[in-house]
A and B are shown apart, each in its own frame.
Chain A
Amino acid sequence: MESSPDKQDEQWLSAIAGHPDPDADALLNQQATSLRRVLLLRKAEAEGKISIPDERGYQRILHQLQQKPSMVHAAPHRPSSLWVSFLRWLGFSEGNPVPGVLTKNAESSGYFFQPRVLALAASVVLAVIVVLQGGLLTGPSEDESTVIRGGELDIVQVVDDPKFRFEELRKDLEDLGVKLRVADEGAEAKNTRIMIEIPNTPQVITYLQDQGFSPDPNRKTFMIVLKKTPATTKK
Chain B
Amino acid sequence: MKAEDIIEHIRQGRKEAGGRGLMDTFKRPMTRFFCGQGISAEDAEEVFWDTAMTIVFKIDQYKHEGKAEAWFWQIARNKLIDFQRKIRRQERLRDRPSSRESNDKEQSDEWKWIEENIPAPAQLIQEERVDHCVEQGFIQFQLVEPERAKVLYLQLEGHSIEKIAAEIGRSVGASKEYLSQCRKKLAPYIQQCTELLSD
A interface residues with partner B (beta carbon < 8 Å): 6, 8-10, 12-13, 16-18, 27, 30-31, 33-44, 47, 49-50, 52-54, 57-58, 60-62, 64-66, 68, 70-72, 175, 210-212, 235
A44 and B41 contacting across the interface, CB-CB below 8 Å: yes
* Chain B residues in 8 Å Cβ range of A65: 10, 15, 18-19, 56
A16 and B60 contacting across the interface, CB-CB below 8 Å: no
B interface residues with partner A (beta carbon < 8 Å): 10-11, 13, 15-16, 18-20, 22-24, 27-28, 31-33, 35-36, 38, 40-42, 44-45, 48-49, 52-54, 56-58, 60, 86, 127, 130-131, 134-135, 138, 152-153, 155-158, 179-184, 186, 190, 193-194, 197-198
* Chain A residues in 8 Å Cβ range of B42: 49
> Total A-B pairs in contact (CB under 8 Å)?
142
- Which of B11, B45, B60, B194 sits near A27, CB closer than 8 Å? B194
B19 and A58 contacting across the interface, CB-CB below 8 Å: yes
- Which of A12, A41, A70, A72 sits near B35, CB closer than 8 Å? A41
A61 and B28 contacting across the interface, CB-CB below 8 Å: no
* Chain B residues in 8 Å Cβ range of A18: 38, 156, 158
B13 and A49 contacting across the interface, CB-CB below 8 Å: no
B60 and A71 contacting across the interface, CB-CB below 8 Å: yes
| Least CB distance, B105 to chain A, in whole angstroms | 19
| Least CB distance, B77 to chain A, in whole angstroms | 14
A–B complex contacts, Cβ < 8 Å, 28 sampled: A9-B180, A13-B182, A17-B156, A17-B158, A30-B130, A31-B134, A31-B190, A35-B186, A36-B36, A37-B35, A38-B32, A39-B138, A39-B153, A41-B35, A42-B135, A44-B41, A49-B40, A49-B41, A49-B45, A50-B31, A50-B41, A61-B19, A61-B22, A61-B53, A65-B15, A72-B11, A72-B60, A210-B57
* Chain B residues in 8 Å Cβ range of A40: 32, 35-36, 41, 156
Given contacts A13-B179, A16-B152, contact A31 B197 (CB under 8 A): yes
Apart from A35-B152, A64-B53, A65-B18, list 4 A-B contacts with CB within 8 A.
A37-B33, A37-B35, A52-B27, A72-B11
A54 and B156 contacting across the interface, CB-CB below 8 Å: no
| Least CB distance, A12 to chain B, in whole angstroms | 5
A41 and B28 contacting across the interface, CB-CB below 8 Å: yes
| Least CB distance, A85 to chain B, in whole angstroms | 33
B135 and A38 contacting across the interface, CB-CB below 8 Å: yes
* Chain A residues in 8 Å Cβ range of B58: 210, 212
A37 and B32 contacting across the interface, CB-CB below 8 Å: yes
| Least CB distance, A63 to chain B, in whole angstroms | 9
Secondary structure class of chain A's binding surface, majority of residues: helix
Given contacts A17-B158, A41-B35, contact A212 B194 (CB under 8 A): no
A34 and B198 contacting across the interface, CB-CB below 8 Å: no
* Chain A residues in 8 Å Cβ range of B158: 17-18
A34 and B130 contacting across the interface, CB-CB below 8 Å: yes
- Which of B23, B135, B152 sits near A54, CB closer than 8 Å? B23
* Chain A residues in 8 Å Cβ range of B19: 58, 61-62, 65
| Least CB distance, A157 to chain B, in whole angstroms | 11
C-alpha spacing A57/B10, complex, angstroms: 17
| Least CB distance, B70 to chain A, in whole angstroms | 18
* Chain A residues in 8 Å Cβ range of B18: 65
- With most chain A CB atoms within 10 A of its CB, the pick from B35, B54, B194 is B35
B32 and A41 contacting across the interface, CB-CB below 8 Å: yes
C-alpha spacing A35/B197, complex, angstroms: 12
* Chain A residues in 8 Å Cβ range of B36: 33, 36-37, 40
C-alpha spacing A44/B42, complex, angstroms: 9
- Which of A10, A17, A31, A44 sits near B44, CB closer than 8 Å? A44
Q: Considering the complex, give the chain B residue whose CB is closest to the CB of A9.
A: B180
- With most chain B CB atoms within 10 A of its CB, the pick from A36, A49, A70, A210 is A210
- With most chain B CB atoms within 10 A of its CB, the pick from A27, A37, A212 is A37
Q: Considering the complex, give the chain A residue whose CB is closest to the CB of B45.
A: A50
* Chain B residues in 8 Å Cβ range of A57: 23, 27, 45, 48-49, 52
C-alpha spacing A64/B194, complex, angstroms: 40
